[in-house]
Amino acid sequence: MKINVNPVTNRDMLQRYTPDRARLSNTGAAPSESDRVALSDEALSFSKVIARARESIETRSEDELARVREVGDAVRSGAYRVDSSEIAESIVSGVWL
């Protein structure tokens, strides 16, 4: 599944929000308790994946989190190097299968 997300600026959000706000305030009606939102199956699946990812992050040990920070810092600084021959050897030997 491919999801395209177009960038939205604060100005875009304000312009989209303002007409709706004016329209709703002119009706004088407050949202009722019967107002509902229905999510597609894809949205529900995506929500479950995000929840699992958050749970996974929250259950990491301090050592794992430190290693993630270390690798992230190395990537950002340009110091992280990948040895392509090691990766190829691992794939061929079945480590990645």
How does DSSP assign 25-53, residue by residue?
HHH-PPPPTT------HHHHHHHHHHHHH
- Report the chain (97 residues): mean pLDDT per 10 consecutive residues: 68 61 58 76 90 83 89 93 88 71
Q: Reduce the DSSP state of residue 92 to 3 states and report it.
A: helix
The per-residue pLDDT for 48 is: 92
Domain segments of the chain: what residues? Answer: 40-97
The per-residue pLDDT for 65 is: 86
